[in-house]
Copies of this chain bind each other. A is one copy, B any other.
Amino acid sequence: MVDHDKRRAEIVRAVWDVIGRHGIEGATVRRVAEHAGISMGGLRHYFESQHGLLHFAALAIGTNVSARVEAQLHSTADAADRASLLLEAMLPLDDERRGEADVWLAFLVRSHVDDTLRDLRSQAWTGTRHVCRLAVGLVRDVAAPETVGGELPDVHLEQWAEHLHVVIDGLTLQATSYPDRFSADDLRATVRRHLSLVAGANLAPDRGRDSRTAPRPAP
């Protein structure tokens, strides 16, 4: 009769919209139902509790990001570009993904208080760290760990992966908090700048692609 999974995806989308507009505490069953164009009872046919609904919505974000990363993994670009694209896949480069990151941050903060989200948080950390290790492996032409959680063969390289991880999280936080100050080009340029640091600082610090050299007035 009705594609169950598709309907659930639509509802999850409504959850994201509502959280983006009203915060996670504003994601009430009534509001989500209204935003999804169904009734409270209808909503409860797909999610039997508010908690289950929010949990599923949080999980779906991870799936989204993973899919983007996976797509870049099999790219045919050269190593340096592939490293950039991998990291950029995790950054909020447009409004759509800014909203996504916003909702993710909301869940991350809530996970500090809601233990049922702890696994999600820990898993996200491991996943992000893995992508950073892949990026380091690419720029330094070193064998990257095959399994998620595996480390790079050198402590020093691990430190660079940590470096990238911090930058990714910092950029995500800033880009969602101050969207006007961080254009997609800004983010991309910053990522490439840091990757050139990882590569060994024997490249030029930036390749003239940096749009920040034309300073925009703060809104």
Contacts and interface: CB of A to CB of B under 8 A. Distances in A.
Given A197-B197, A212-B159, A216-B155, A113 B166 contact: no
Contacts of A177: 108, 111-112, 121, 125
Interface in A13-70: 20-26
Interface in A164-219: 165-171, 173-174, 176-178, 181, 190, 193, 197, 201, 205, 210, 212-213, 215-216, 219
Contacts of A109: 23, 105-106, 109
A170 to B, nearest CB: 3
B113 A155 contact: no
B174 A169 contact: yes
Nearest to A106: B109
A109 B172 CA distance: 12
Nearest to A25: B25
A214 to B, nearest CB: 9
A154 interface: yes
A212 B162 CA distance: 10
Taken together, the copies of this chain in the complex come to: 2
A176 B106 contact: no
Nearest to A186: B162
A114 interface: yes
B167 A167 contact: yes
A102 interface: yes
A219 to B, nearest CB: 7
A112 B153 CA distance: 41
A110 interface: yes
A219 B114 contact: no
Contacts of A155: 212-213, 215-216
Interface string A122-164: 1001000000000000000000000000010111101100110
Nearest to A174: B169
A167 B23 CA distance: 26
A168 to B, nearest CB: 7
10 contacts: A102-B112, A121-B177, A151-B215, A153-B219, A154-B219, A155-B212, A158-B215, A159-B212, A169-B169, A169-B170
